[in-house]
Amino acid sequence: MKPTHFTIVRRAGTAALALSLAVASGCKTFLDVAPQGQLSEEAIKADPAAAQKLVDGVYDALYLSGGFGADVNGFQLVVLSDIASDDADKGSTPSDYNDAANIDNFTATPTNSNVNNVWNGHFQAIARANQALDKIPLSPADASIKNRQLAEVRFLRGYFYFNLVRLFGGVPLLDRVPSVGDVNNPALQTRASAADIYAFIISDLQFAVDNLPAKAGTDVGRANKTAAQAMLAKVYLYQKNYQKAYDLTSAVITSGAYSLYGNYADIWRTVGNNNSESIFEVQTGVNAACNNSALQLYVVAQGPRSGGKYGWSDLGFGFNTPSASLANAYEAGDVRRAGTIIFINPTAPAGQRSTGTVLWDGFRIPSQDSVEGSRFSYKAYHSRTKEPNCGNTDFLPKNIRIMRYAEVLLINAEAAVQLGNTAAATTDLTLVRARAGLAAAAPTLANIWRERRVELAMEHDRFFDLVRQESVQAGRIVPAYAAHGKTFVKGKNEIFPIPQSQIDLSGGVLTQNPGY
């Protein structure tokens, strides 16, 4: 045996031994491999920017659904707020989208897909919010930044629950991230009372009011103090706490940060994005991949649809068509009528040339014989030629106005009337009517409610408002729907059915709403 070999082996062995010891000493952590290229809890603890990403991810929930899936502020909510109301009909061809027709006609059953989509979408959004609230405290950022982030998320969570309680009544209250072992815990599935949900919404929104900066200190698009005040005022209006509603809206008005935007028809156009009266709106845009910075199909689902003789490249599926009841609700001279509804002109008699309908951007829709439906939402129209468009019409960037100053004025007016302060109510109402080209009107509840209808038409509020008004002054909702050709059953149709699939998954712990 030649000694050199041993030397080599011994050296190699010593090196291996050393390497082995090195591995052994790091052994405790050797098998703890963090996820690569993915944001995990460790990354949130280390990077102050990570918590902000989670906040922005909650805003992204406002883009849900992709049209026909889990939904927060997209087309599914349109079905349950506009189509369900007397402002609009389902639209499209009669046989298209039976589930929405059932919502329109109050014949929906617990297996209806719209209610399941909105249920899932809102709880997805709430889960995102809870996850963000769970992780923001881990961030190494300053406490003040973290407080603002928490407040933004709680604003959004409050809004999500506000939609849910108006759609379904009491729902399961998830205020934190449940552990995986709890997924089938009955306590989690049990419905809280509507009152408990409202109390929870108020605590979220009050936290937002207390911790969000004013408009001047906020990026455009983020929730600010005013947004929280206005949303909280609206919640108090639903709670009939008129003093709080009045105080909060008065604070918004006296802040002077917002004012009515001059041209009503432009409010929902790109030129009116984040205009002087916009308090909170869903922000959209175009990104390089052209595939996601907007509400998918929101515009196309409500776009004018060809029919009859066809023969033109139409703009969408033709859902959510403004009703005759709405068209008739406008007073003469109200500029809002033409700013809200696209009217399809009748076909000219034989031998004469039909003019069609020319939209603000010059697009010409042919007349009635080539169109399915006679009215369409102008607020949901997005110009393919004069407004941003990256080439994918499924993602036309339409900002959704969730809260604007006009509504703050109307909340203030309604609360003032209820508190006996007609002077304030007159001021508010006159401002709103003047912008619409109308003279002042008496500050009565009926006038303020009619004003709410035409001011906020096709903005996804009418169904909830009708139900709320009925609780303030009974006897109006059934005739309103009768005028619209629908039968509203009191004690049932104020809220929608709890999705049957969710009741099944809860093992029957979730209870169904009355009448379904």
Partner 1 sequence: MKNLHFLTWVLLALALLPAALFAQQAPITGVVTDAASQEALIGVTVLVKGTSINAQTGVDGRYSIAAPADAVLSFNYVGYAQQEIPVAGKTAVNVALASTTKLNEVVVVGYGTQKRRDLTGAVARIEGDEIVNQPVQTPTQALQGKLAGVQIISDGTPNSQPTVRIRGTGTLLAGANPLYVVDGVQTTDIRNLSNADIASIDVLKDASAAAIYGVRGANGVIIVTTKKGAVGKPTLSYSGTYGFKEAAHLVEMANADQYKSYITDTSPTTTFPTYPGFSGTTNWYKEILKRGTFQNHNLAVSGATDNVRYYFSGNLLQDDGLLVDNRFSRLTVRSNTSFSLSDKVTISSQASYSHANTRDVNIGSAYLDAYRAAPIIPARQGDLFGNTAAYGNVGNPLVDIGKNYNQSSENRLQGNIGVDVRPVEWLTLRSAINVDLNANTRTIYNYQFNNDASTFIIAGGNQFNTTSNLSVMQSNSYRYLWENTATFHKVFGENHDLTVLAGTTTEEGQYTPLYGYRRSVSADPNQWYLNTGDPNTSVVNPYDPNNPDANMLPSKDRRFSVLGRINYSYAGRYLLTANLRYDASSKFASDRRKGVFPSLGLGWVVSDEEFLKDVRGLSFLKLRGSFGRLGNDQIPTNSFVTTADINIPYVINGQPVLGAVISQIKDGQVHWETTTEYDAALEFGFLDNHLTGEVTYYNKRTSSALIPINIPGILGDPDNQLITNAADITNRGVEAALNWRSTIVDNFTYNFGVNATFNQNRIANLNGGQALFAGGNLQTRSDNGQAAGSFYLLNAIGVYQTQDEINSGPKSTFAPKVGDLKYADTNGDGVIDLNDRSYYGSYQPPIYFGINGGINVHNFDLSFVFSGNLKNKVYNAKKQNRYAGTDNVEASFASSRWTAANPSTTNPSTLASSLPNSTYFLESGAYLRLTNVILGYTFPVSSLEKAHLATLRVFLSGQNLFTATKYTGFTPELPGGPLDSGIEAQTYPTSRTLTVGLTANFK
> Which residues in 12-71 contact partner 1 (CB under 8 A)?
12-14, 16-17, 20-21, 23-24, 27-28, 30-41, 50, 53-61, 63, 70
Q: Among 276, 260, 298, 291, which Cα is nearest to 410's? A: 260
Amino acid at 506: S
- Contact set for partner 1, span 98-117 (CB under 8 A): 116
- Contact set for partner 1, span 395-454 (CB under 8 A): 397
Asked if 380 and 67 count as a contact pair (C-beta separation under 8 A), the reply is no
- Shortest distance, CB of residue 19 to partner 1, whole angstroms? 8
Q: Is 385 in the site for partner 1 (CB under 8 A)?
A: no
Asked if 348 and 312 count as a contact pair (C-beta separation under 8 A), the reply is no
- Shortest distance, CB of residue 23 to partner 1, whole angstroms? 6
- Shortest distance, CB of residue 216 to partner 1, whole angstroms? 14
Token pair recorded at residue 37: 């290229």
**Alpha helical stretches, state H, 136-271:** 143-168, 186-189, 194-211, 225-238, 242-255
Q: Among 184, 165, 138, which Cα is nearest to 45's? A: 138
- Shortest distance, CB of residue 274 to partner 1, whole angstroms? 8
Q: Is 484 in the site for partner 1 (CB under 8 A)?
A: no
Asked if 173 and 200 count as a contact pair (C-beta separation under 8 A), the reply is yes
Residues 275 and 263: their CA atoms lie apart, in Å, by 10
> With respect to partner 1, which residue has the nearer C-beta, 12 or 195?
12
> With respect to partner 1, which residue has the nearer C-beta, 58 or 341?
58
Asked if 88 and 327 count as a contact pair (C-beta separation under 8 A), the reply is no
Torsion, CA 402, CA 405, CA 406, CA 410, rounded to 10: 100
> With respect to partner 1, which residue has the nearer C-beta, 290 or 419?
290
- β-bridge partners, 404: 278
> With respect to partner 1, which residue has the nearer C-beta, 14 or 444?
14
Q: Is 224 in the site for partner 1 (CB under 8 A)?
A: no
> With respect to partner 1, which residue has the nearer C-beta, 201 or 510?
510
Q: Is 94 in the site for partner 1 (CB under 8 A)?
A: no
Q: What's 499's DSSP letter?
A: P
- Candidates 4-12, 365-373, 434-442, 455-463: pick the segment binding partner 1 (CB under 8 A): 4-12
- Contact set for partner 1, span 135-164 (CB under 8 A): 135
* DSSP codes, 381-425: ---TTTS---S-GGG--PPEEEEEHHHHHHHHHHHHHHTT-HHHH
User: Would you tell me how many other CB atoms lie within 10 Å of the CB of residue 222?
Assistant: 20
Q: Of these, 102, 120, 149, 278, which contacts partner 1 (CB under 8 A)?
A: 120
> With respect to partner 1, which residue has the nearer C-beta, 25 or 487?
25
Q: Of these, 46, 413, 467, 506, which contacts partner 1 (CB under 8 A)?
A: 506
- Contact set for partner 1, span 70-89 (CB under 8 A): 70
Q: Among 191, 272, 206, which Cα is nearest to 239's? A: 206
Q: Is 184 in the site for partner 1 (CB under 8 A)?
A: yes
* Binding-residue total with partner 1 (CB under 8 A): 87
What number of residues does the chain have? 516
Residues 233 and 350: their CA atoms lie apart, in Å, by 55
Q: Is 299 in the site for partner 1 (CB under 8 A)?
A: no
Q: Helix 422-435 crosses helix 242-255 at what angle (to 10 degrees)? A: 50
Q: Of these, 77, 84, 108, 125, which contacts partner 1 (CB under 8 A)?
A: 125
> With respect to partner 1, which residue has the nearer C-beta, 288 or 350?
288
> With respect to partner 1, which residue has the nearer C-beta, 71 or 87?
71
- Candidates 208-216, 291-299, 400-408, 440-448: pick the segment binding partner 1 (CB under 8 A): 291-299
Asked if 230 and 212 count as a contact pair (C-beta separation under 8 A), the reply is no
Q: Of these, 77, 80, 83, 126, which contacts partner 1 (CB under 8 A)?
A: 126
- Shortest distance, CB of residue 231 to partner 1, whole angstroms? 19
Q: Of these, 68, 75, 97, 119, which contacts partner 1 (CB under 8 A)?
A: 119
Give φ, ψ of 88 to 5 degrees: -150, 160
- Contact set for partner 1, span 315-374 (CB under 8 A): none
- Contact set for partner 1, span 186-215 (CB under 8 A): 188-189
Q: Of these, 73, 81, 124, 229, which contacts partner 1 (CB under 8 A)?
A: 124
Residues 47 and 299: their CA atoms lie apart, in Å, by 37
Asked if 231 and 158 count as a contact pair (C-beta separation under 8 A), the reply is yes
Amino acid at 256: G
- Contact set for partner 1, span 256-275 (CB under 8 A): 273-274
Q: Which residue has the tokens 């059934």?
A: 478
Asked if 169 and 194 count as a contact pair (C-beta separation under 8 A), the reply is yes
Q: Of these, 82, 204, 214, 285, which contacts partner 1 (CB under 8 A)?
A: 285
Residues 432 and 341: their CA atoms lie apart, in Å, by 19
> With respect to partner 1, which residue has the nearer C-beta, 18 or 442?
18
Give φ, ψ of 372 to 5 degrees: -90, 105
- Shortest distance, CB of residue 28 to partner 1, whole angstroms? 7
Q: Is 128 in the site for partner 1 (CB under 8 A)?
A: yes
Residues 73 and 67: their CA atoms lie apart, in Å, by 10
> With respect to partner 1, which residue has the nearer C-beta, 118 or 438?
118
- Shortest distance, CB of residue 377 to partner 1, whole angstroms? 22
- Shortest distance, CB of residue 1 to partner 1, whole angstroms? 5
Token pair recorded at residue 362: 């010059």
Token pair recorded at residue 474: 């009974």
**164: CB partners within 8 A, 6+ apart:** 119, 122, 171, 197
Residues 330 and 218: their CA atoms lie apart, in Å, by 36
> With respect to partner 1, which residue has the nearer C-beta, 166 or 337?
166
- Candidates 182-190, 337-345, 472-480, 483-491: pick the segment binding partner 1 (CB under 8 A): 182-190
